[in-house]
Amino acid sequence: MLKKTGLLLGAATGVALAGVMAITAMAQNAAGPFTQDQVNAGRQAYNDNCAICHQNDLSGATDAPPLAGDAFFGAWKGRSTEALYSKIHATMPAGRGGSLDEATYTGIVAYILHANSARAGTTALTPTTDVAIGAIATGKLADDVLHPPARVAAAPANGQGANSDVATSAGFARPGQVVRYGDPGRFRIPTQLGLSLKGDIQNYIPVTDEMLRNPPDGDWLMFRRNYQGWSFSPLSQINTGNVSSLQLKWMWSMPENGTMEDTPIVHDGIMYMWGVGNTIQALNAKTGELLWENRLGPTPTAMGPGPSTTETRSMGLYGNNVYVAAPEGWLYALDARTGEQVWKTKINPKEGVGRTTGGVIIINGKVIVGMTGCGRPKSGDHCYISAYDAKTGARDWKFTTVALTGQPGGDSWGGKPDDERMGAETWIAGTYDPELNTTYWGTAQAKPWRRDLRGTGTGATDYANSTVALDPDTGKMKWWHNHAPGETFDLDEVFERVLVDHDSQKYLLTIGKAGILWKLDRVTGKYLDHAETVFQNVFTKIDPKTGIPTYRKDVIDQKVDQWLPSCPGPEGGHDWQATSYHKPSDTLIIPLSQSCVFMLGNGSQTYFEMPGSDGNMGRLSAYRTSDLKPLWSFQQRAPFLTGVVSTAGNVAFVGDFDRVFRAIDVRNGKTLWTTRLGTTVQGYPVSFMVDGKQYIAVTTALGGGSPQLKPGTMLREVHRPVTGYAVFVFGLPDAK
């Protein structure tokens, strides 16, 4: 075992070139302070606990930094194995730091060192082993990581590996413990897949194109209710005068041990729910009675909340089918009356590459889905938006979301080869203008996040962080507008595109993690206006004619292994918690978050409160869309973890991290009603009507990325059960 020496410390800080050379030479010879047995055990533990976020090849994705290669080594070569253990033990698995046993953590650290070409020795790694990582590793990817053995399977639904033991449904078992269910005769064991309850829904009304264009008042047929992405219900039975008497009508517990950010889909009195493990359920929307259930799988194999890549945010209805884009990259059509599978087709390019979490939009008989989690280094596996025949599942078209050589915008990647152009994920379903026959999608940033690692210089990296306008019949792009050219802080501009008309003017409004509300002409893509909704220090100015932002100088000049602050951080500003457009008052109601990060080149982060926020991470603000005039705003300690639904009764509903679900007056932001639910109120609330009565539905759940992780660390006074995934339905008291 090598202890740190003055020479090694000097080299590790990168001060002396000679020191670096010495380290490199030593690293080629010195055995690491860990054993091959630890590596073997750590490989399995890594696959079970880490791979879903950090990827099988340790290359990192979404909120997870790379754990091998240049980016990792640049950040860690000067630090010790003890610090790496401490960091991983305290923070991992995400949101469950310290939940694994010591042998598992040491194994994972040993495997990470091995993955960076450190050589196993005869001394076992312990939590206090203190060796400079630069002295034993090179940062070169080990061969068996670059080319993993075939038995290393892709991570399943809740992201914890394919070979783990069965988890409990409630998450009370320790890791690895097999729990026997005491009464399988009455309850179907959660690991059994298939149609567990066949439905027999009579007189089902098929969903037509006309219904999607003009949804029945009592229905919620798609993600944001209408093609324009408003999340506005024309129902007014529940209004500012009576909302204070709202009461629980029924609730239904949902599968746990994963991630849920769900939209209840409601048609003609039937509610369709997606649950962890791709458990699809149809419920009587008035009574909460289960009508059918199909467990598509794969089932969760580990306990606790999952990452953001293991869920889907919305299903869709068309004809007699319900359409499910499972996060593992499969698109299903199920019979909405029985739950039986009609067809199943592959979305992603190959097993383990590409996931889909944003849900679906169905346009002119085509089911259109986005993709995330794709784009491994030099793989050529680009993200794409793709369309499938609703009747057969046959793929109709796909649109690759990075500009390739020779395409418009193809010269914006700093000369990077096409197979190194990564990112531009689409993890929120698009919207649609039937009159223009155009579908609008947001894309996420290029990968890796940081420019210093990406190697694209100041290039715009089209079509990342853009609005793209596509012909839904062909997938051909009509225009794109890049909101944050060359983005570098994981500040996605991927979220909802809200389509609003003022007289003959056709606008598109969207807001990304930078917290800037953008207004475009959706016919041409031309920038029109913007409003900064929270503190931001990433951009120093925004061109008033083009909307192109200028980055802070130290952001432009960033170097590898340099910590850079970003306000907002990856929690946003604005995140997946979507806005609502209250048509009667021309008001856009926006859930906002107020946190910042320090980010290292490899994506490592520490968090802090946003200046001027007084420690309030949550903010809800309203803007008039005609002129982006701010109307009202309030803030609170806990961030909002749901989208907003507003109604013709001038009320809006939103839920938060600290379990509060509330109704507010759309006209002034005043809270009219609150209730406290079992765990974080997370998902997309909706409103619907059955038998002449209006209801509000919302889900409670855990799991996800930065919107869960940042407050989970920063709000130490907030305590939440790890259980409690459910859908709640509220309504007015029955008439006497």
Partner 1 sequence: MKHRILPALAFALLASAPALAAQTSYQTNLGPMPLDDETKTVIAGRGDATAVLDGRTVTVKGSFHGLPSNATEAHIFTSPVAGVPGKQILDLDVTKATSGTISGTFKLSAQQAKDLRTGKLYIQINSEKAPPGYSWGPKGTLWGWLLPAHETVGQDVPQEGHWFIPQLDTPKS
Q: Is 403 exposed, middle or buried (0-12, 13-18, 19+ CB in 10 A)?
A: buried
Task: Give phi and psi for 719, each to the nearest 5.
Answer: -120, 130
Q: How far is the CB of 730 from partner 1 (least distance, A)?
A: 20
Q: How far is the CB of 614 from partner 1 (least distance, A)?
A: 4
Q: Is 617 exposed, middle or buried (0-12, 13-18, 19+ CB in 10 A)?
A: buried
Q: Tell how strand 651-655 and strand 645-647 pair up.
A: antiparallel
* CA–CA separation, 23 and 7 (whole Å): 9
For partner 1, the closer CB: 411 or 609:
609
Q: How far is the CB of 565 from partner 1 (least distance, A)?
A: 5
* CA–CA separation, 511 and 621 (whole Å): 12
Neighbours of 363 (CB within 10 A): 26
For partner 1, the closer CB: 406 or 544:
544
Task: For residue 254, give the 3-state DSSP assignment.
Answer: coil
* CA–CA separation, 366 and 352 (whole Å): 25
Judge whether 73 and 116 are in contact, CB under 8 Å: yes
* CA–CA separation, 85 and 98 (whole Å): 11
Q: Where are the alpha helices (DSSP H) in 606-682?
A: none
Task: Give phi and psi for 391, each to the nearest 5.
Answer: -80, -35
Amino acid letter for position 663: A
For partner 1, the closer CB: 87 or 693:
87
For partner 1, the closer CB: 198 or 552:
552
Q: How far is the CB of 300 from partner 1 (least distance, A)?
A: 23
Max Cα distance, the chain (Å): 86
* CA–CA separation, 253 and 283 (whole Å): 12
Q: How far is the CB of 92 from partner 1 (least distance, A)?
A: 9
For partner 1, the closer CB: 17 or 90:
90
Q: How far is the CB of 713 from partner 1 (least distance, A)?
A: 5
- DSSP letters, 323-369, are EEEETTTEEEEEETTT--EEEEEE-SSBTTB-B--S-EEEETTEEEE
- Tell me the sheet residues that pair with 699: 727
For partner 1, the closer CB: 195 or 620:
620
Distance of CA 478 to the CA centre of its chain: 27
For partner 1, the closer CB: 91 or 168:
91
Q: How far is the CB of 595 from partner 1 (least distance, A)?
A: 10
End-to-end distance of the chain based on CA atoms, in angstroms? 79
**Residues within the interface to partner 1 (CB under 8 A):** 79, 83, 86-87, 90-91, 97, 530-537, 544, 552, 554, 563, 565, 567, 596-598, 600, 604-616, 621, 627-637, 668-671, 713-714, 716
Q: How far is the CB of 511 from partner 1 (least distance, A)?
A: 13
For partner 1, the closer CB: 143 or 717:
717
For partner 1, the closer CB: 3 or 350:
3
Q: How far is the CB of 310 from partner 1 (least distance, A)?
A: 21
Q: How far is the CB of 515 from partner 1 (least distance, A)?
A: 9
For partner 1, the closer CB: 76 or 272:
76
For partner 1, the closer CB: 445 or 604:
604
Own/partner pairs, 350-354, CB within 8 angstroms, 24+ separation: 350/381, 351/154, 352/56, 352/153, 352/154, 352/155, 353/329, 353/379, 353/381, 354/329, 354/381, 354/383
* CA–CA separation, 623 and 644 (whole Å): 14
Cα-trace Rg, the chain: 25
Q: How far is the CB of 100 from partner 1 (least distance, A)?
A: 14
Q: How far is the CB of 598 from partner 1 (least distance, A)?
A: 4
* CA–CA separation, 668 and 230 (whole Å): 19
